[in-house]
Chains A and B, each alone.
Chain A
Amino acid sequence: MIPVYICDDELPIRRSLEQIVSNQILILDSDMGPVRALEDPEKLLELQKQDSVPAIYFLDIDFPGRMSGLELAQKLRQYDPRGFIVFITAHNDLAFETFRLRLEALDYIVKGSRDAMTMRVQSCLESIRERMEAQRPGQSSYCTVKILDTVRHIPIDSILYLEAVGLRHTLQLHLDNELLEFNSSLDHFARQLGEGFWRCHRSFLVNRSRIRAVHLKEQTVELDNGETCLMSRKAKSEYRD
């Protein structure tokens, strides 16, 4: 079950949203729930840790006198990096790009007529269900990367290889459709990732399950997306054994 939280300081909004969400979950017949509606963001942070993650959060964009929706979402993300966040706002012209890019928020719901809200909630829940189903096969294991304040959980299957670049401990993490660059050491990841990865060169660590071919003659390792990594002589003799 995926817990669902609604946090808004206005009682009518909270009530109607709770009803809408519960109804939609019933209609979708998906394993979401229980639905909890709260007023206090602090309380939500407490409750979050008592139940399982990932969870679904419907959050008000601001709580006058208390923390902002942005802050709340950031705190929630720290504990639940893979959760689904939907914002509730009174304005149609919400600056949503920040939320989408920084917090990977899913969507936002405009407070207003019940029909419009129902439609939006429905589409949110559907897309959450789709995403959960798409994730299922890769549920096995994750690799944790901490970049400044942000913790990311990266499915190990999506990692192609890691490359150490230059002398300043910059690491490039190559994923499907994504590239991360940050300060870290290859040794650290070699330890974290363990047997599934192969140190085929001083500055390359490849995912064994993503290797398409090993070219001994050219001393390269080809990955399943066509990229190639260098192979050292030591790794070559290792491979032969």
Chain B
Amino acid sequence: MSLTFRLGTVAFIMGMMALALYILTAGILGRKLHWKSLGLFFVCGELFQWAAMLLYLLYTVMTGQEDLPSAVFDTACYLLMALVLGIMMSKIHRLPLLHTFTAAILCTFVVNTANNTMLYVVEEYSPLFDRQHFLAFVRLYVPYMLTVGVALLVAAILKRSGFYRYFAAMFRSRARGLLTLVVCLALTLIMPLQQLLFPDLTPDASYATFFFALIVAGVFLLQFAAMYAAGQDRIRAQEETILQQQAHMALLEELQQEIRAFRHDFTNLFSGLTLQAQEGDLAGIQDFMRRTSSYFDEKLGSEIAQMDGLNNIEIYPLRSLLATKLARMRQMRIKGVLEAMKPVNGQLGMDTDDLLRALGILLDNAIEAVPREEGQVRVVLLKEEKELYLAVANNYEKAPDLSSLTKKGYTTKGSGHGTGLASYRRIVARCRGCAARTCLKDGMFIQELHIPAV
């Protein structure tokens, strides 16, 4: 066999591994394939693997011994590749590095194991050929292509079953995420460790089956853990929803009470008016009309406007967030104004969780910043053709210092606070095409957010 054919085969094998890794990682994260970065990772994978091989060769040539198994180099190389893939994924899909890195590590394990199994199986069952090229094709090309096939299949299944949601649930808290990372790392390191400790064992098909079983068990364990975590999260979310609905009910009750009072007032006023009409007191009636024309608006205007605004918000989690915050403002005797002139709906360039977090931070900050007397918070949502415009304005006791607002940990409440604005900034920066504006105008502190519509 010519050298070029051999080198080409090695390059092909490496390329297939990189491809399988990328596809599976995208599947676990539940994202679409990004062709440009796939190409980039393909090149990176080739480079890394060639470098690892050269290093290994260099090592054996320099020291003249072969007792250090190639597994060490391979593992280091794969870990590095996983890191690169993790960084890449976190850049493209705007996910935390811990999340993507763990996914990449897990995929490395799965792909390696699948690949080993394929190799053994092919070795066991392939007939003997006398032509070397064909032998190489069957022994090397087929299993590696099969690995990519398996990766595609598994990725499709994972994407279908919504595994990424469970996987994401593992990264809600840092400790949970780190634990997942450690488990995945341990899984990845089992095979090289075994080779390092018991180099005499010759792996065969049954061995591979054992590892396959291990994967299945591991993945199931992960899935169960993730489902449990997701279940916990769901319970918490439901509790929150209940609270929010209670707030909404309280608003309705209040409105009803005011309507009752209003009706009482109005019957009284009208009986007076009837008397005047009977007496033919036209001037008196005109005077009455003038005095009472804005009466209804004054009494119920703000509540009705609030309800109108809330009803126009068709993104339900957003509606309940606003209802809760408005209820809190009423409790604290802060005048809360909500305006949503047009229905707020449709797909946005920011995911709902981030939107809720961002608006929550803005509202909490506004509620905390208003003066004790005559506090005012105004919220505006306006859905336009290409964007959702969102503004939160509040009056203040002491003007906030805009120049230090962007510094990390800026707060008016002493140490330990000031993480809200920082995470708000992070959310905005994460969303492509989003723009934020902060300004002081006419005695109000205004935070605006433009979110592109998809």
Contacts and interface: CB of A to CB of B under 8 A. Distances in A.
A226 interface: yes
Given A148-B450, A181-B436, A174 B386 contact: no
A217 to B, nearest CB: 22
A166 B90 CA distance: 14
Contacts of A101: 378, 380, 391, 393, 446, 448
Contacts of A26: none
Interface residues of B, number: 41
Interface in A180-226: 180-183, 225-226
Interface of A is mostly: mixed
B403 A148 contact: no
A133 interface: no
A226 B407 CA distance: 14
A19 interface: no
Contact of A92 (B294, B386, B425): B294
Contact of B378 (A93, A97, A148, A168): A97
Contact of A177 (B428, B433, B440): B440
A147 B439 contact: no
Interface string B352-394: 0000000000000000000000000010101011110101010
A165 B337 contact: no
A171 B385 CA distance: 24
Given A97-B380, A102-B382, A147 B450 contact: yes
Contacts of A183: 432-435
B355 to A, nearest CB: 16
Interface in A54-89: 70, 74
B447 to A, nearest CB: 10
Nearest to A168: B429
Given A97-B337, A102-B391, A147-B450, A181 B380 contact: no
B32 interface: no
B440 A178 contact: yes
B339 interface: yes
Given A148-B435, A148-B450, A179 B402 contact: yes
A174 B339 contact: no
A178 B429 contact: no
Contacts of A148: 386-387, 433, 435, 450, 452
Contact of A95 (B305, B387, B406, B450): B305
Contacts of B438: 178-180
Contact of A97 (B91, B339, B433): B339
A149 B384 contact: yes
A31 interface: no
Interface in B415-451: 425, 428-430, 432-441, 446, 448, 450
Nearest to B404: A227
Interface in A101-159: 101-102, 147-150
B26 to A, nearest CB: 20
A98 B406 contact: no
B302 to A, nearest CB: 9
B301 interface: yes
A192 B194 CA distance: 62
Contacts of A102: 380, 382, 389, 391
B402 A177 contact: yes
B339 A177 contact: no
Interface in B238-258: none
Given A148-B387, A181-B425, A226 B450 contact: no
A170 interface: yes
Contacts of B178: none
B435 A180 contact: yes
B219 interface: no
A48 interface: no
Contact of A98 (B91, B380, B386): B380
A172 interface: yes
B258 to A, nearest CB: 15
A150 B435 CA distance: 11
Contacts of B297: 92-93
Contact of A172 (B389, B406, B430): B406
Contacts of A226: 403
A168 B433 CA distance: 11
B247 to A, nearest CB: 22
B227 interface: no
A97 B294 CA distance: 19
Shortest beta-carbon contacts, A-B, top 5: A182-B435, A178-B439, A147-B435, A181-B436, A179-B438
16 contacts: A93-B305, A95-B341, A98-B382, A101-B378, A101-B380, A147-B437, A148-B450, A149-B384, A149-B387, A177-B439, A178-B438, A178-B440, A179-B406, A181-B429, A182-B435, A225-B403
Given A175-B439, A179-B405, 9 more contacts: A70-B341, A93-B305, A147-B435, A147-B437, A148-B386, A148-B387, A150-B450, A183-B433, A183-B435
Interface of B: 91, 294, 297, 301, 305, 309, 337, 339, 341, 378, 380, 382, 384-387, 389, 391, 393, 402-403, 405-406, 425, 428-430, 432-441, 446, 448, 450, 452
Interface of A: 70, 74, 92-93, 95, 97-98, 101-102, 147-150, 165-168, 170, 172, 174-175, 177-183, 225-227
